[in-house]
Amino acid sequence: MRLGLVIDLDVCVGCHACAVSCKEWNASGSIGPLADYQPYGAEPSGVWFNRIRHFEMGEYPHNKTINFPMSCMHCEDADCVTVCPTGASYKRAEDGVVLIDQDKCMGCNYCSWACPYGARELDRATGTMKKCTLCIDRIYDENLPVEERQPACVLTCPAHARMFGDFDDPDSAVSRTVRERGGYALMPELNYNPTNRYLPPRRKPEVSVAPRPRGGLKDSLRQFANRLVRR
């Protein structure tokens, strides 16, 4: 199995719902709490596993805004795991999920240096590195209703811009969507072989405006004729 996420940039409205739901779930989840610094002070900041950036493409008036959520890509060739000296970072053989053992981490930040995607954030309160767990404590929780055994961010996304599934299974919804929509990986040149895929904004649909039989051009009221229509 190779579990991961698909993010549809065509419909992501950049609402940050996934990011907040992630924070909410994981704050009280298996690697919570997640520290917040100066929560009511001058420069609030904190640990998040999912952040939404907003980019602009092209120039006015042909510009497009792209909302861009990012969390751990659960890379196949995850250097964050290779470089970790303590073995706290590991990739699960059975499903490819990359996790951090909070009991082993020494907080050296080295793995975060190795991650191109900014997925890892140090929790200064525990001194340990934290990151997206793919909601491992939801997806395998057999006491949750089946339809809720999904990452919090996927469940909550109001635009349904996020999908979760097994990329090893060619028939899974994620695999099919990636094939059909040309899903791509970020920074492929670094060869991390990330699992998560992004679906590009689609081309805009063409609507025909060819002249129709209905009417010719009317420049004045006089050109309109009454038709017999009963109520």
Partner 1 sequence: MNASIRTENHDAQEIRYTTCYMCACRCGVKVTLEGGKVRFLQGNRNHPTNQGVLCAKGSAGIMKQYSPARLTQPLLRKPGSERGEGIYEPISWDQALDLLTNRLQEIRATDPSKLAFFTGRDQMQALTGLWAQQFGTPNWAAHGGFCSVNMAAAGLYTVGFSFWEFGAPDWDYAKYFIMWGVAEDHSSNPIKIGLEKLKRRGGKFVSVNPVRTGYSAIADEWLPIRPGMDGLLAMSMVHVLLRHEQFDYEFLVRYTNATWLVVQTPGQRGDGLFLRDADGHPLIWDLEKESFRNGLAGDIAPALFGEYLTADGRRVRTVMSLVAERYLDPRYAPENVAREVGLPAATIERIALEMAHIAFQESIELPIAWTDVWGRKHDKVVGRPVAMYAMRGISAHSNGFHACRAVHFIQMLLGALDAPGNFRARAPYPKPIPPHQLPENSIAVINAPNTPLSRPPLGFPTRPEDLVVDEFGNPLRIDKAYSWEVPIASHGLMHMVITNAVNHDPYAIDTLILFMSNMAWNSTMNTAQVQDMLRTRDIENFGEYRIPFLVVVDAFHSEMTNFADLILPDTTYLERYDAISLLDRPISEPDAAADAIRYPLIEPDRDVRPWQEVLVELAARLKFPAFTHADGTRRFKNYPDFIVNYERSPGVGFLAGWRGKDGSRSLKGEPNPRQWEKYIENESFFAHHWPDSQKYMRYANRDYLEVAADAGFVGKVEPIIMQFWSEPLQKFRLAGMGLYDGPQPTNQVDRERLVKYFDPLPLWYEPLEQQRVDPDEYPFFALTQRPMFMYHSWDSQNAWLRQLMAQNRLYMNAGRAAEMGIRDDDWVWVESHHGGIRCQVKTMEGTQEDTVWTWNAIGKQKGAWGLKPDASEATDGFLLNHLISELLPAQPGERRLTNSDPVTGQAAWFDLRVKIRKAAPGETGSWPQFDTLKPYPGDERYARPDVLRYDARSDAKNRGNGQTS
Partner 2 sequence: MHPVLSVIFFTVASGAGFGLFSLLFVADFFALGGGFSRAHLLVGGAIALALIVLGLLSSTLHLANPKNAWRAFSRFRTSWLSREGVFAVAFMPLALAYLACIAFDAPLWLRHASGFLSAALAWITVFSTGMIYACLKTIRQWNTPLVPANYLALGYASGSLLLLLGAVRAGLDATPYVALAGLIVAIAAVLKAIYYFWIRSPGLTPTVNTATGLTRAGVRLFDSGHTHGTFLTEEFGYQLARRRASVIKVLLFVVGFALPAVMLAAVLRGSGAEAAAAVAACAGLAGAVMERWLFFAEARHVVNLYHGAQRC
- Per CB under 8 A, the list member of 4, 49, 140, 184 interacting with partner 1 is 140
Pick the closest to residue 31 from 22, 40, 39 (CA basis).
22
CB of 175 to partner 2, least distance (A): 18
* Alpha carbon distance 114, 133 (integer Å): 18
Shortest Å, Cβ 173 to ligand SF4: 16
Return the residues of window 139-178 that contact partner 2 according to CB under 8 A: none
CB of 103 to partner 2, least distance (A): 8
Pairing of strands 197-199, 3-8: parallel
What is the DSSP code string of 148-212? G-S-HHHHH-TT--EEEEETTSTTSHHHHHHHHHT-B-S-GGG----S-EEEPPPPPPP------
Per-residue tokens: 176: 């099919």
Q: What's the chain's length in residues? A: 231
Give me the residues that bind ligand SF4 (CB under 6 A), please: 12-18, 22, 25-26, 49-50, 52, 67, 69, 71-75, 78-80, 84, 86, 88-89, 98, 100, 105-111, 115, 117, 119-120, 129, 131-135, 151-153, 157, 159, 161-162, 192, 194
d(CA 178, CA 6): 8
To the nearest whole angstrom, how small is the minimum distance from the Cβ of residue 147 to ligand SF4?
Answer: 16
* Contact footprint for partner 2 (CB under 8 A): 16, 19, 43-48, 51-59, 65-66, 68, 70, 79, 81-88, 103-110, 112-118, 121-122, 124, 126-128, 184-192, 198, 200
